[in-house]
Amino acid sequence: MGGCFLYLLLFLLWLLLNGRLTSEIAVFGLIVAALSYVFAWKVLSFRASNDGIVLLNILLLALYLVVLLWEIARAAFSVMGLALSRKCRPDPVIFEFHSHLDGKFKNVLLANSITLTPGTYTLFQEGDRFVIHCLRKDYADGLTDSVFIKLLEKMRLPSWGRREEKP
């Protein structure tokens, strides 16, 4: 089975981007997918053992995007209510926490997700340490065990492009 998933995914992407199916497009698609697969294998150090990891991550990233859009909409209504209310006033707070996520990609994705969510802004992020500005203290309450962190913990990053140093 080794590598069939990536090859099939590249071929389907070719067909999707062309918008129609003819014999010439299919033949060129097979060739382009094969060349792209060789490129991924040689240059990006792709291995067929990473196929399962890639599929899992695609599903997790799709779920992450849905959750992010939901949280953005929910927070936007909360901030809008805060802005339109005469009784509620912003009570800004700066909050620091550690995400305990491994890898730069996961931490940067979390920092950007926090910044995209209305009412919160990532002031500083280094490793797994975050400094967040929130319009209200209750906006910071769920950050340390948020659904974003739980989804990112489930992601397993393949070792593409990470070549081991030879002495």
pLDDT digits (tens, 9 = 90+) for 120-163: 999 999 999 999 999 988 888 878 888 899 999 888 775 544 44
Q: Quick one: pLDDT at residue 130? A: 94
| Mean residue pLDDT across the chain | 84
In the predicted structure, residue 14 carries a pLDDT above the cut 80? yes
| Residues of the chain by 3-state class (helix, strand, coil), percent to 5 | 60, 10, 30
Q: Quick one: pLDDT at residue 118? A: 92
What is the mean predicted confidence (pLDDT) over 31-48? 80
What is the mean predicted confidence (pLDDT) over 80-98? 88
Least confident residue range of 32-36, 110-114, 145-149, 163-167: 163-167
CB 100 within 8 A of CB 148: no
Residue with tokens 């931490």: 107
